[in-house]
Structure 1
């Protein structure tokens, strides 16, 4: 991980470091390839239990919807109980001491396979060149302040692939003079499949040129809603250095807007672009309403084309009063913020939709604003 400044609550590296430790224990054969499936590769919920009475619904609800739950500081043993109650898998990191454990429902694995298989079937033909090692490194907006940390995380590579957004906003002042050749690819906010395919194609072209060690720089966490979600592993080994998803960092930036940190006890991190992930709108609305009513703050990513109307509807349907914060193009010169206090106000959905940037995230929380 490229360290970022310390964050309060649960929006820190520990969950994602633990996920990278257990990812190889959750595997599936997809399109003839054996893939590791990270518990944070799709939507997930993070929970710091306060007790069985307070958090039973908070834990069982997401598992019923097919979302993994990361339990942090689980002194009550709620993770083991929840795994047994829902016939889910319990995964505890073994490589290093951790305060995080994951409960992963079977429905999550099934959904991941269904999402990844079509992408892998469209992959480039396997390269006949020698085996390639890919160093997928999660980076954060503070990476540019310490170039040496970036280079150490990349390992012994001479070539690094990254999006144009990552290069322009994080690395354009880091790589020159280091001997690392950047391969900058245009990031397409509205065509995620194309992003995966162009990374796969670039890796294979480099392999054909004899490049057997390549860096893959990901703004956020490589395992969370990013190009590893369907990248072929044929002829290559992928080593993951975790990071904090940029949408979660953006949400953490706004904790000061509230009396209490919205991410201190629990949060759900899911995509607002439910169609892309094969989820019906009924589930998206039901999940958000369920989480918000249970006191779980929701961080919705991929809101460039995400379902603003359903997100605001869930906000209105949920018990209690909620506030939404739309964060656009954070950690770039185009950064902007829009707050919504009344989702029922006329024209709210239209105004919020019009304000969206290329990289948009929405935080919905029941915490009281200052």
Structure 2
């Protein structure tokens, strides 16, 4: 960690609280989705916190993420990979790895591969245009399953709408498809994402599949005071200069920057090389409970217009208010948190 570097701080007790709240309110086991570096929170930090809380089922998008969890050497952990892996022998080498079967062609390939089907989850798609079997393939799937006497670890689908009626209809079709194929052929059933879990939708599932809600983030339009934020992006001011001594702020001429009501600029050590995109230019950050604009972003540093109350060493917090930042950036908070890369250390606070 460099001097004056920015950090992502994780509040461990809030992650534990969110896990216990969701598990207690749903009365179901949780498959914790920790893809994309646990939505930018830090996979290597978040997984042990959840494992210590009793969560032993994790889901990721890709093989490389599963291997990173394996490297943590957590006993009894199961890891579900959503995307099809390149080499099926990985499943033979690691019996705690599981994979989603995403197409009819993959199912046929896996039948001839010698893979243990208790490591596989069958995915159904009801209009998401992503992965999974379509409804018109159900008959072919059932025939293959019966002919080869297949039994799976799980059946899953994904809710692509926050509309309550649409979600209920997708779940109805999902459960009907499972019953048609044979409920006894699936050990677990999971469809509920964070939004559906908090809304109490997804009747018939045995497990809930949560990601952002465990980390204290909510989908747009969802409110729940029991979910506690666990994340902050902070770092100190490392230098302050008066405009009278400058012709440029970063690579921008001062006259091209709206500097009304300010005559000083503070430098902070975060930039687009850390995944803090130039799109954040003019977003507001917080210093001593006051808002200030970040007016220029370079590869390793950014610049904030400040008043006389700001001093070197004062802590700058970025993205303090997710709702305001979402509106400014025109994207959801779990999109820009995942952009922040490994140059920014993740620090776990108790």
Q: What range is the shorter-chain TM-score in?
A: 0.3 to 0.5
Bigger relative CO (Cα 8 Å, ≥ 6 apart):
2
